[in-house]
């Protein structure tokens, strides 16, 4: 339930990510804006479906829960579109390549997270719900990856900007809006043990295959950092013998 709460909150925050993308040159590309319209709509209903699961277990969901989350963000949330607009002024079309690549990475990790949740939950209804969500996430991946490849292949400068941003700025999905303890819990629960390692390695191989992005070990580094940081702070977790990646 705790992982489902995290996913619910992130899915229903997607519309705010859309706001940040549309202040960049991405809004001038009709293919991108057509995709983003469908993307935001489908992510909304992923969140609504997960909200039904939470409600069935007596947990807060929907507008009341998401409204409280957005209020907690305060100034951080209000300045995000201004940061995107400033980035547009500096990087221009290269920022669109970054958004497409960032989206690909986030969708890869999201799809993997759903697959791991289905494994761990081992519940027939949850498995079917996740199967349907993952099918739509797969379409999102197809668009982001094709756009990322095209834009990166056409511009060595975009490759350098994207590589720097992924290495320096990228964080696991939801970490910008969720409490750190919740992000760390989700990463430990889904990827901390040996069963999670193949998912981590698969995503890193996919990132390696993007033009100019090989060798980042982006996901392995994020998982390893969160698992080790939590180990050092919460000693009893050491008995769980999380495997380092």
Higher pLDDT among residues 217 and 237, named by residue: 217
Write down the mean pLDDT value for the chain. 88
Averaged pLDDT for residues 130-149: 95
Instruction: Provide the percentage of residues in the chain whose pLDDT is more than 90.
Output: 71
213: pLDDT strictly greater than 60 = yes
Please report the pLDDT score of residue 82 as a whole number.
83
Q: Average pLDDT in the 177-185 region?
A: 93
pLDDT score, position 76: 77
| Mean pLDDT along residues 149-161 | 96
Kindly state the average pLDDT of the residues 178-184.
94
State residue 88's pLDDT score: 77
Checking if the pLDDT of 229 tops 80, the result is no
Task: Provide the pLDDT for residue 242.
Answer: 28
pLDDT category at 244 given cuts 50, 70, 90 is: very low
User: Model confidence over 33-66: pLDDT tens digits?
Assistant: 999 999 999 999 999 999 999 999 999 999 989 9
Which domains are seen in the chain, by residue range? 2-177 (1.20.1260)
- Per-residue confidence (pLDDT) for residue 240, from 0 to 100: 27
Q: Tell me, what's the pLDDT at 228? A: 62
120 or 225, which is more confident? 120
In this prediction, residue 216 has a pLDDT band, given cuts at 50, 70 and 90, of very high
CB contact at 8 A, 213 and 101: yes
Residue 91 pLDDT > 80, yes or no?
no
The percent of residues in the chain predicted with pLDDT above 70, rounded, is 93
pLDDT at 206 over 70: yes
- The arithmetic mean of pLDDT across residues 72-89, rounded, is 82
Between 17 and 208, whose confidence is greater?
208
- The pTM of the full predicted model, rounded to 2 decimals, is 0.88
């Amino acid at each position: 339930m705790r992982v489902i709460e995290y996913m619910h909150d992130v899915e229903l925050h997607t519309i705010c990510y859309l706001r940040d993308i549309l202040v960049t040159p991405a809004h001038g590309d009709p293919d991108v804006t057509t995709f983003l319209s469908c993307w935001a709509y489908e992510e909304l209903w992923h969140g609504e479906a997960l909200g039904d699961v939470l409600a069935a277990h007596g947990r807060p969901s929907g507008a009341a829960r998401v409204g409280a989350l957005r209020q907690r963000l305060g100034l951080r949330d209000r300045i995000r579109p201004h940061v995107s607009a400033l980035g547009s002024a500096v990087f221009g079309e290269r920022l669109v390549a970054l958004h497409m690549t960032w989206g690909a990475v986030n969708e890869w990790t999201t799809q993997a997270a759903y697959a791991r949740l289905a494994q761990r939950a081992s519940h027939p209804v949850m498995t079917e719900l996740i199967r349907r969500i993952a099918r739509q996430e797969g379409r999102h991946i197809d668009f982001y990856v094709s756009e990322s490849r095209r834009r990166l292949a056409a511009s060595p400068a975009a490759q350098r900007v994207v590589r720097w941003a992924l290495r320096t700025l990228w964080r696991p999905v939801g970490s910008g809006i969720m409490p750190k303890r919740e992000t760390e819990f989700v990463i430990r629960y889904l990827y901390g043990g040996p069963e999670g390692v193949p998912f981590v390695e698969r995503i890193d191989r996919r990132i390696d295959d993007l033009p100019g992005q090989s060798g980042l070990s982006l996901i392995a580094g994020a998982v390893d950092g969160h698992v080790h940081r939590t180990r050092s702070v919460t000693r009893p977790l050491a008995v769980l013998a999380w495997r380092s990646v």
